[in-house]
Amino acid sequence: MSNSKELTITCFCGAATHTFSVPFSSLPLSTHLCNCNISRRISGSLLTSYVNIPNYSPNPDLSALTPYKSSKTLTRHFCSTCGTHMYLEYSEDGHFEAATGTLQMESTDGIVDFQSHMWIEDTRDGGASQFITHINGRKLTRYLQAPEPSVDIPLEWKTASATDTHITGAQTIHAHCHCNGVEFYITPPNSSSRNAESPWPDLLVPYHTSNSDNLHNHPWWLSRHDRFLAGTCACNSCRRASGFDITFWAFIPTMHITQDVSGTLPFSRRPYWGTMKTYQSSEDATRTFCGTCGANVFWDGRESLIDVAVGLLDAESGARAEELLAWWPGRVSFEEFALNRGLVKGLEDGLKGWAERNEGREYIATSAFPVLE
């Protein structure tokens, strides 16, 4: 009987794949949820995570991947075709780590162990670390920077310079990837925001239980606080396209996205702008990512409404961009497809706890539908 487990990782389109073995005695593989600015800007996600590929394993084939040197320490490798983030490569010793969402198995529970949040300092407002406080009943340690020698910080931590979003109110927000090859601006809701059209998203009406038709075109993308709805997703498609277990989306009418701060260059699909590349992830959905740094940018499957990767937003308040976004705590979209059930259950519970701590300031999920005023 083998004393090791074989693990396979692959990108969404299958152009890049790698198999390596780890001893059963090394399982689960420990990892940290990274909140740093670089991780957010190269992924579009608020959290990234990687597991170590043993140094006795052959190095992965990088021929189908685009390298991006994000710092003196790290080169990141993502698929040139579909954009999936695959690896970290360390300059010091050349070892590789694999993005946890690329693991090909029914479940990574018992395989991947999420131990802590790190680099919370970069978020200013605590970011998504406030959404996941426990996994499988175990409290996640919260580090301002790297796990050692940082000290555990309180849940309510935020920087002294973090803007109070409920004083400043909505404002135009700049969004950009790490290399700045893709940038755009999002303007706050106005009286025309209700004119977009969209069926209900799985975030609010689970596709496997209900009809998503929005017959009266209820503007679910607007909160009762005149902000745009934002939420989390654990679907197979988002995970495989990004390389990470959880994606974070804001639902924005295209009329509120401009390529320049003055608003003279509107949103455009034909063509997209900057260094964006496209990948057709399903018959009716196009995903865009930066061809230089790999940042996930848009999920484009509706004519007048688009999903924007929240990790690209450069909000004064911090990573959650609460002056513009209202986060939905009632459901993780496609939670039933979670690769790591412990992680996503922790996110589900943590979102509800976050809403309660904020005293109902955002949506409070009391039914399958948001309460909109």
Rounded Cα distance, 38 and 94, in Å: 20
Predicted TM-score (pTM) of the model is 0.94
Give me the pLDDT at residue 160, please. Answer: 72
Q: Is residue 93 part of a domain?
A: no
Strands 112-118 and 29-34, sheet pairing: parallel
Rounded Cα distance, 142 and 139, in Å: 9
Rounded Cα distance, 294 and 77, in Å: 8
Which residue range forms the structural domain that includes residue 340? Answer: 169-357
**Residue for token digits 């310079």?**
161
Q: Is residue 159 part of a domain?
A: no
For the domain that residue 218 is a member of, what is the CATH number? 2.170.150.70
127 contacts 45 by C-beta, under 8 angstroms: no
Q: Is residue 19 part of a domain?
A: no
Q: Is residue 343 part of a domain?
A: yes
Torsion of CA 98, 103, 107, 113, to 10 degrees: -10
Rounded Cα distance, 243 and 361, in Å: 32
Nearest to 332 by CA among 346, 319, 320: 346
Full pLDDT tens readout for the chain, 373 residues: 489 999 999 999 999 999 999 999 999 999 999 999 999 999 999 999 999 999 999 999 999 999 999 999 999 999 999 999 999 999 999 999 999 999 999 999 999 999 999 999 999 999 999 999 999 999 999 999 998 777 789 999 998 766 555 445 568 999 999 999 999 999 999 999 999 999 999 999 999 888 899 999 999 999 876 899 999 999 999 999 999 999 999 999 999 999 999 999 999 999 999 999 999 999 999 999 999 999 999 999 999 999 999 999 999 999 999 999 999 999 999 999 999 999 999 999 999 999 998 865 554 443 334 443 3
Q: Is residue 23 part of a domain?
A: no
Rounded Cα distance, 27 and 184, in Å: 42
CB neighbour burial string for 161-177, b if at least 16 within 10 angstroms, e if fewer: eebebeeeebeebebbb
Q: Is residue 184 part of a domain?
A: yes
Q: Is residue 336 part of a domain?
A: yes
Give me the pLDDT at residue 52, please. Answer: 97
Give me the pLDDT at residue 256, please. Answer: 97
Q: How many domains does the chain have?
A: 1
Q: Is residue 205 part of a domain?
A: yes
